[in-house]
Amino acid sequence: MRVLALIMAGGASPSLSVLTAGRAAAATPFAGKYRIIDFTLSNCVNSGIYDVGVLSQHQPRSLHEHIGVGKPWDLDRLQGGVRVLHPFPTPDGGGWQRGTADAIRYHLDVIEERPVDYVMVLAGDHVYKMDYRPLLDLHMQRGADVTLAVHSVPPHEAYRYGMVTVDGEGRVTNFEEKPRRTSSALASMGVYAFRKEYLVDLLYRDQSVDFGSEMLPRIVSEANVSAYTFNGYWADVGTVQAYYESNIALLAETPALDLYDPEWVVRTRSFERPAAQLGSSARIERSLLCDGCRVDGHVSGSVIGTGVVVGAGAIIRDSVIMPDSVIEPGVVLDNCVVDKQVVIGRDCKVGEGPIGMPNAAQPQLLNTGLTVIGKAARVSAGHTIGRNVVVSARSFVDQDLASGETF
């Protein structure tokens, strides 16, 4: 079976707020030591797919640096391997990819020249472990033009997804992009298998720019579209709240996402760091600690990334701290997402007080009490920051911030 995988990793993802101010969503750190795209890349190689293209666009530098030549995923190959595919100017003045279909159309030459029979189009900003081979087997058995992977979701979350209706034979009969109301409980996972010839013909004759909102409803009405139901763990971490909840869910006694499975290793680009160090005053409860951490404070219900420093007397509760951040002595941090290389000054209180008002600038994203600190921000000593607060990347906070503010 000859397969080319194209991973969509170029979206701006504004629903992740300041976490994607300087990076693509797919490059966002996850679970302390990984990046979100690691899950899709690992799925590919664990499924025997070694011909991979990563389609980039928004703030691509950290994504490119992370992937490199693909060595951590055994994708540094002369035949196949991984390539990062960039947008580029065209003779008609184009160059900026306007949607998922448009992004793939820009690289039709790559698809046409590859000696493959099938093309998988994969979301690069979802967290899941999935063997793609059963889906491809079903795709071949049914002689489908397109096969969608689907996953059941709660009715109140249907508005976030493309919702799929399937008949008794597994054929897709209807597709609705992010409906307000729907009778279907099956969401498209952003995992598509195409016959190569069908995909090439489709992109030449249909100039739509987006798969979900424009192209898929028409494909369903004209082509043989099959559904593959996936019952394993899958999370679309495209909002700040979903990102936070997916990280914290790893702390369950038996988490739904097993990162310790030797039969399905999630690979990543790792740096040489020493073991985590716990000082004599450290207390750790139900948390994940990664390599290079130095903890002298109290950490509970939190994910602590590589190289994070937690000072003596500091208290971190129910928070996600990304790599190389420094939490100075005496800090109290509650219900927060702290990006990389942040410094929280001595004796600060972050995530302080009742939930209060939603964030004034992003009320739909931040209304549960979660406070988000952007990459490389600095908070000077002794300040108090409320809940539902956003601190922009690389900013310097030298004042108190009430709940709901954006700095």
Range 30-55 average pLDDT: 97
Residues 124, 85 contacting (CB under 8 angstroms): no
DSSP symbols for 79-131: SSEEEEEPP---TTS--S--SHHHHHHTTHHHHHHS--SEEEEEESSEEE---
| Domain co-membership, 197 together with 136 | yes
**Cα gap 102→8, rounded to integer Å:** 11
Find, among 81, 224, 249, 64, the residue nearest to 142 by Cα: 224
Q: Position 18: which residue type?
A: V
State how far the Cα of 341 lies from the Cα of 265, in Å rounded to an integer.
27
Residue 211 has pLDDT above 90, yes or no: no
**Residue 138 falls within a domain, yes or no?**
yes
Average of per-residue pLDDT across 250-266: 96
Give dist(CA 11, CA 60) in Å, integer: 10
What is the percentage of the chain residues whose pLDDT exceeds 90?
A: 85
Residue 288 shares a structural domain with residue 335: yes
Do 177 and 311 lie in a common domain?
A: no
Q: Is residue 155 part of a domain?
A: yes
Do 69 and 13 fall into the same domain?
Answer: yes
252: pLDDT confidence band, cut at 50, 70 and 90? very high
Task: Give me the chain's average pLDDT, please.
Answer: 94
Give the end of a domain, one of 209, 234, 250.
250
Residue 221 in 3-state DSSP?
helix
pLDDT on residue 222: 92
Arithmetic mean of pLDDT, 106-119? 94
Which DSSP category does 248 fall into? Answer: H
Cβ atoms of 407 and 397 closer than 8 Å: yes
Between residues 403 and 208, the one the model is more confident about:
403
Is 121 contained in some domain?
A: yes
Whether residues 243 and 330 fall in one domain: no
Mean pLDDT along residues 306-330: 98
Mean pLDDT of 180-206: 94
Cα gap 221→370, rounded to integer Å = 42
Give the model's confidence band at 181: pLDDT under 50 very low, under 70 low, under 90 confident, else very high: confident
For residue 92, the model assigns a pLDDT of: 64
Report the largest interatomic distance among the alpha carbons of the chain, rounded to a whole angstrom: 67
Query: What is the pTM for the complete model shown?
Result: 0.95
193-205 per-position pLDDT tens digit: 999 999 999 999 9
Pairwise CA distance, residues 41 & 146, whole Å:
21
Which residues are within 8 A (CB) of 264 and not within 5 positions of it... i.e. 6 or more apart?
42, 46, 129, 131
Domain encompassing residue 327: 277-397
Residue 212's pLDDT is: 81
User: How does pLDDT run across 341-372, given as a tens digit for each residue?
Assistant: 999 999 999 999 998 799 999 999 999 999 99
Cβ–Cβ under 8 Å, residues 376 and 342:
yes
pLDDT beyond 90 at 296: yes
Q: Inform me whether the pLDDT recorded for 83 exceeds 80.
A: yes
Least confident range from 184-198, 204-218, 220-234, 353-367: namely: 204-218
Strands 315-317 and 186-195: unpaired
pLDDT at 34: 97
Q: Kindly tell me if the per-residue pLDDT of 94 is higher than 80.
A: no
Query: Which residues, other chains included, contact 17 with Cβ-Cβ below 8 Å and sequence gap of 6+?
Result: 240, 362, 365, 366, 372, 390
Q: Are residues 245 and 283 in the same domain?
A: no
| Residue 267 domain flag | no
The mean per-residue pLDDT over the stretch 16-40 comes to: 96
149 and 214 share one domain: yes
Q: How confident is the model at residue 155 (pLDDT cuts 50, 70, 90)?
A: confident
pLDDT of 182 = 86
In a domain, 166, yes or no: yes
Q: Is the pLDDT of residue 157 over 90?
A: no
Residue 91 pLDDT greater than 70, yes or no:
no
Residue 263 resides in a domain:
no
Using DSSP's 3-state secondary structure scheme, residue 267 falls into: coil
DSSP state of 218: H
What is the per-residue pLDDT for 90? Answer: 65
Report if residue 306 sits inside a domain.
Answer: yes
Q: Give CA separation, 95 vs 7, 8, 9, 91, 215, in Å.
A: 19, 16, 16, 9, 21
Same domain, 294 and 357: yes
Same domain, 218 and 91: yes
Whole-number Å distance between alpha carbons of 21 and 152: 31
Do 156 and 211 share a domain, yes or no?
yes
How does pLDDT run across 60-71, given as a tens digit for each residue? 999 999 999 999
Report the C-alpha dihedral over residues 97, 103, 105, 111, rounded to 10 degrees. 150
Determine, yes or no, domain membership for 259. no
User: How far, in Å, CA of 67 to CA of 86, rounded?
Assistant: 14
What does the pLDDT read at residue 93?
59
User: Considering its fold, how many domains does the chain have in total?
Assistant: 2
Q: Which two tokens stand for residue 153?
A: 């979701």
Return the CATH number at 171: 3.90.550.10
CATH number for the domain including 334? 2.160.10.10
Please tell me whether residues 15 and 72 are part of one structural domain.
Answer: yes
Q: Which two tokens stand for residue 81?
A: 């391997």
Residues 239 and 308 in one domain: no
